[in-house]
Amino acid sequence: MTLGMGFIGMKSLAGGLITNSEAAMAFALQFKNLVPIWGIQKEAELEEWLAFMDHEPEMNDEIRAFIEQERKELAGDFCRGCGYCMPCPAGIKINTCARMSLLLRRAPSAKWLAPDMQKEMEKIDSCLNCRSCVSKCPYELNTPELLKKNLADYRQVLAGEVKVGYEN
């Protein structure tokens, strides 16, 4: 910015994990020369974004509080889905499977619970514990452990022991 250059804000909705488009837009508008690439999951979100072209949301205390809460929830072992840790020698789709618990709760869940995705999640049991992913993750995540946690949660959701309660 100090060099007078613009920049592209990728995944302004964190690949569908941030569910408040108004907050994301208000945040992005604070930065001049920022062109966001939103990454929406639902048609309704597209309509929200288009409406923002006419009425730009402004940052306010309510949005600030929401952003702070999101920061707390997504800090720590939050897989960003970047895929820099891949490929995995066991064929695990790390960039999806390591954030499955969040996807189930923050995005339409039906496709993540479909049989093809169940097969992908079951591959986590074949992890070789080579830790190649750990050495490549820019966020220093303990990826094998994170995958196991996501698989345990996934199985509970499939078994109906945990409700994810996100509308599709």
What is the contact surface with ligand SF4 in residues (CB under 6 A)?
79-85, 88-90, 92, 94-95, 98, 127-133, 137, 139, 141, 143-144, 147
Pick 6 or 91: Cβ nearer ligand SF4: 91
Q: Are 109 and 160 in contact (CB under 8 A)?
A: no
Helix (H) or strand (E) holding 95: helix 94-97
Closest distance to ligand SF4 from the beta carbon of 131 (Å) = 5
Pick 141 or 151: Cβ nearer ligand SF4: 141
Cα distance between residue 20 and residue 149, in whole Å:
26
Side-chain-side CA neighbours of 145 within 13 Å: the count stands at 6
Closest distance to ligand SF4 from the beta carbon of 136 (Å) = 6
Pick 26 or 94: Cβ nearer ligand SF4: 94
Closest distance to ligand SF4 from the beta carbon of 78 (Å) = 8
Helix (H) or strand (E) holding 8: strand 7-9
